[in-house]
Structure 1
Amino acid sequence: MKQNKNNRYMPLLMAVCVMAGILIGTFFTSRFSGNRLNIINNGSNRLNNLLHIINDQYVDKVNIDSLVEKAMPQILAELDPHSVYISAKEVQMATEDLKGSFFGVGIEFVIRNDTLHVQRVIENGPAEKAGVIAGDKIVSINDKPFVGKAANNGEAIRRLKGQKDTKVKIGVVRYGEKKPKYFTITRGEIPMKSITAAYMIDNETGYIKVKNFGEHTYDEMTIALAKLTNEGMSNIILDLRDNTGGLLKSAVLMAQEFLPANQLVVYTEGRRSPRQDYKSDGRGAFQKMPLVVLINESSASASEILAGAIQDNDRGTIIGRRSFGKGLVQEQIPFNDGSMIRLTIARYYTPSGRCIQKPYSIGDGAGYEQDLINRYEHGEFFSQDSIKHVGKPYKTRIGRYVYGGGGITPDIFVPEDTLGITSYYKEAAMRGLILQFAFTYTDDNRLKLNNFKEMMELSDYLRRQNLVERFASYASSHGLQRRNLMIRKSHNLLDRYINSRIIYNILNEQAWTQYINQDDPVIRKALDVFKKGEAFPGKPATKKNLN
């Protein structure tokens, strides 16, 4: 009986031993084999497991947060060129352009000779109200010196920006005075305008420069259109050159001002994003006014949406050079730590059905960024015949052929103007010597220059000052060898560049734009199109008509 009783408990004892063996084996496998079995069996969790293993077993102490911060951009780079990670520190700056404002003191500045120089003071901004003027040199911030190595752009922005209604104390040295002046500035909201110029080029033609597409761009444009209409506008030039894009909704609203009712502006579609059409509502006030849109190789994203809508609906004429070619739609997804990603969720398509995203190789960000240089070297900036179209042709509403797969090709090509460019001019520009000279001249002559309130008046004065010769001497003293033949050949370019920057320093961005537009070949071509009555594209010639 006793032996039978022992036999009865034997299976239970064996089961307990097996379970104990499994638990002990699992412990030692986990401890000494780095969770290899777990990683193999759960492939989707490998990243988390990897981080746990590193944190638990790596030879030195590791900052896991820093490791993740560095890894996330690399992961997103394996998707496409426009899916990006933005750290918590960079989020505010990355979103300011789209929001159209930030909190700060309201100055534009440059760093020269390890000193912060106030270049311009925002009208009615906190700094102007406190008494700061253009030309002041900021030497301290909150009673701490701000000169020498500490004086750099990033540190200046960090110290001067801040929350609304907070205060910052700055010490400035003013021209002609030895002792510093001190100002306590209450930070406020500083607007960042998307429309940087709106004026009448001639008695009939209004010009609007759109810098980007933010939350308030459409409102700014309607104000500009109303102003120009009151001044007699009957033609419109919309300048999207060097506009790298922004918000899709702003581009759609702006397109609606010029399109008849129920015309497709753009549509988006992705793997998890069903097709969404954006159509005009027919309430735009400028549906029949002659329109020209200017683009170049730096016009991207929302700029291409607007230009594509105008081109595919045959609403106006596109002039310039082929645009950048960004046809991917990003969604901003925030994280709890304040960082975020911009993840590509769809492609956008112009009304004819073309996606203008240029080709890219996954993980080859450097090659993608090299594209514009390749275009330049291939001769595309100088000859329309050098433009390479990728993919099949599409048709506009009236049957004109257009192409996708690499930006918007303009209806009228205008090559980059290379007249007068020499190696001397290139080196002077690339080394920043022209900008430095213009600012130094502005600073040294600010009392005189401040008397000029109009662009033409200031321009006429500057032309009489022999500034190119003064610049040549300045450049020579800063290490750029004097080349008299090249200086003569580049004289007009040097004069234009120097004068434009002084005008910007003394007046504003609109005055600067007005000045450089005076001899812009793209502007001249746009005015010629209006003069000939060719702003509205005509139907392409048929074979029957050709015979």
Structure 2
Amino acid sequence: MKRITVLGLSLMMAAIATTATAQTKSFKIGQWTEINNAILNELNRSYVDSLPLDRIEKAGIQAMLESLDPYTVYIPEEDNEDLQLMIAKTYGGIGAIIYKPEKDGNVIINEPYKDSPADKHGLRCGDEILEIDGISTHGLTTQEASDRMKGKPGTTVKFKVQKVRTGEIVEIDVVRERIHLPDVEYAGMLDGTTGYIYQSGFTQNVSNDIRNAVLKLKAEGMEKLVLDLRGNGGGLMSEAIDIVSLFVPKGSLVVSQKGLAEGSEAQFKTKYDPIDTQIPIIVMVDSGSASASEIVSGALQDLDRATICGTRTFGKGLVQSIRPLPYNGQLKVTIAKYYTPSGRCVQAIDYSHRNEDGSVGQIPDSLTHEFKTAHGRTVRDGGGITPDHIIEGHDYSRLTYSLVTAGIIQNYAIEFARKHESVEEDFHLTDEMWNDFVEYAQTQTFDYRSSAMTLLDMMKKELEQDGLSEAVAEQTAALQKALEMDKKTFLNLKRSEIQPFIEEEIVVRYHFQEAGIKIRLRYDDQLREALTKPLVTMN
């Protein structure tokens, strides 16, 4: 009887505590809603200038959400098209990347997508768009020009175009279509028995595209598969689960999620019959592989179904859900953390300490926990997925990064396309072409200092602040002289790492993205090393 009484009291106290917590939350929400409304009413009544209500309210909401995590965001009605692009990689338009070097200049076609309306109507790299629907492109920003080119599929947009080859000015009517940017950007054979799939995202139906790619490669003789998720920032969890289901028995646990809200805890298992549970799989990852990429790589690792190669992944173990808001807005809100089949949480232990690219910093083993894969191998949590074989990627020089980020290589590819009618798909830059690039780059403005020179410049500032610059002036002058290098000399010194970027940028202007990925694979030492590593097996 006493035990029953104690149990009853415990349950009653728990109920009271739960009710009190709920009432406290409700009171706090009401309190701050009242304060917010009072501030807005007072500003509207008293502020010295006209109140930019939309701007300050949106800024306030975004600041509030940013204080929680980077992935909980408010999406107003006018940005719903961007949400659709994020979820499904689709939009209404002509299917081309444009480039506008200056506001008072013309829009330049940088790269049309394969089989897009732009491609079908003969728009090529270097073609200049003078007018869009009778409106001059002079004075338009890149975004404004892009917005005019987009629109409802089935509608027509009229262009006045100056053709790159002939200089002829023509008028072209292009019917917009629903443009889909594929997540499976390339699927092909690396050799007689090794298939390769490069996947760049996890939007709607990508799992079906992966299925079709695997079946295609098996028909071509594939006996081993490389799934490349490097740089893949993730997307839909459902697509990640369905991709794992292609390679493991039906009913296998892929991922679980845990949150505070009711209904946020769940386990997700494969729902479909696999297409191959035996073929050896290598999954390539790096610090840019996040979210759904980590679900796939983590599940296949925990189930001993694939060998993970590369560098540790980003470490985003948070689940988002899209919730409707008044006036057709949306709230993308973090609702839970997810866990791999072994129980690992991919989210970084200390979310605030990250590398420069946002990925997980180094976590000592003393702060992590051990977990076991299906066959007893040890894996650890702490943030991200640690590969079975850690293989570092290419460490590019500061010069190469500067050439890419400043658009020097991209702009040269456009200039190249203006002068050359065609190139082979298996394109190689000749010495003559390289010299032409060097001459072009020397005319462009970009920061070509070496990393050592930038450090020296920083050191000189520190010496000046400390009052030591005169005392070591002779030594710093000598060091600066030793490090100084003109553009031409430095470019030629780094030709081996710059040339692949030029070849890729040029070849996509003629043969689209697939050809560019083939060029990238030509120089992929990290992948080549991965192919030599021992593989994890299910036996």
TM-score by length of 1: 0.80
Check the 8 A contact 1:291/1:536 in 2, yes or no.
no
Q: How does 1:9-408 map to 2 (within 5 A)?
A: 42=31, 45-113=34-102, 114-147=105-138, 149-150=139-140, 152-272=141-261, 273-281=263-271, 283-359=273-349, 371-373=355-357, 388=364, 390-408=367-385
Read off the aligned partner of 2:374 and give its amino acid letter.
R
Change (3 A) 1:65 1:517: same
Q: Distance in 2 between matches of 1:391 and 1:40?
A: 37
**Offset of 1:388 from its aligned partner?**
4.3
Q: Distance in 1 between matches of 2:491 and 2:165?
A: 34
Partner of 1:523: 527
Check the 8 A contact 2:113/2:512 in 1, yes or no.
no
Q: Distance in 2 between matches of 1:328 and 1:99?
A: 20
SS at match of 1:120: strand
Check the 8 A contact 1:263/1:279 in 2, yes or no.
yes
From 383, 402, 409, the equivalent of 2:386 is 409
Partner of 1:3: none
Q: Deviations over 1:438-490 (max 9, x none)?
A: 22112221x133xx3xx32xx2xx33353222111111122467445533431
Change (3 A) 1:229 1:41: closer
SS at match of 2:289: coil
Check the 8 A contact 2:258/2:336 in 1, yes or no.
yes
Check the 8 A contact 2:394/2:526 in 1, yes or no.
no
Check the 8 A contact 1:132/1:183 in 2, yes or no.
no
Q: Distance in 1 between matches of 2:29 and 2:321?
A: 33
Partner of 1:507: 511
Q: Distance in 2 between matches of 1:359 and 1:91?
A: 33
**Offset of 1:169 from its aligned partner?**
0.8
**Offset of 1:395 from its aligned partner?**
1.7
Check the 8 A contact 1:39/1:49 in 2, yes or no.
no
Check the 8 A contact 2:129/2:160 in 1, yes or no.
yes
Identity, % of aligned pairs?
28
SS at match of 1:409: coil
SS at match of 1:311: helix
SS at match of 1:314: coil
From 403, 406, 414, the equivalent of 1:428 is 403
Which has the larger displacement, 250-259 or 463-472? 463-472
> Quick check: which has more Rg, 1 or 2?
1
Q: Distance in 1 between matches of 2:135 and 2:204?
A: 37
Q: Distance in 2 between matches of 1:204 and 1:59?
A: 73
**Offset of 1:39 from its aligned partner?**
11
Q: Deviations over 1:99-125 (max 9, x none)?
A: 232111122222235332223333433
Change (3 A) 1:62 1:398: same
Q: Deviations over 1:210-233 (max 9, x none)?
A: 110011201111111111111111
Partner of 2:7: none
Read off the aligned partner of 1:436 and give its amino acid letter.
N
Partner of 2:497: 493
Q: Distance in 2 between matches of 1:305 and 1:107?
A: 32
Which has the larger displacement, 111-120 or 326-335? 111-120
Read off the aligned partner of 2:98 and give its amino acid letter.
F
* Cα RMSD for the two superposed structures: 2.6
Change (3 A) 1:39 1:302: closer
Q: Deviations over 1:231-279 (max 9, x none)?
A: 1111110011111010010000000001123321001111013421111
Return 5+ residue gaps in structure 2 as ranges: 1-26, 449-485
TM-score by length of 2: 0.81
Check the 8 A contact 1:194/1:217 in 2, yes or no.
yes
Check the 8 A contact 2:99/2:108 in 1, yes or no.
yes
Check the 8 A contact 1:260/1:287 in 2, yes or no.
yes
Q: Distance in 1 between matches of 2:341 and 2:29?
A: 48
Return 5+ residue gaps in structure 1 as ranges: 1-37, 362-366, 381-385, 539-547
Change (3 A) 1:483 1:125: closer
Check the 8 A contact 1:87/1:338 in 2, yes or no.
yes
Which has the larger displacement, 81-90 or 433-442? 81-90
Check the 8 A contact 2:304/2:536 in 1, yes or no.
no
SS at match of 2:256: strand
SS at match of 1:343: strand
From 419, 425, 429, the equivalent of 1:463 is 429
Change (3 A) 1:256 1:478: same
Name the count of aligned residue pairs: 471
Change (3 A) 1:233 1:65: same
Check the 8 A contact 2:391/2:530 in 1, yes or no.
no
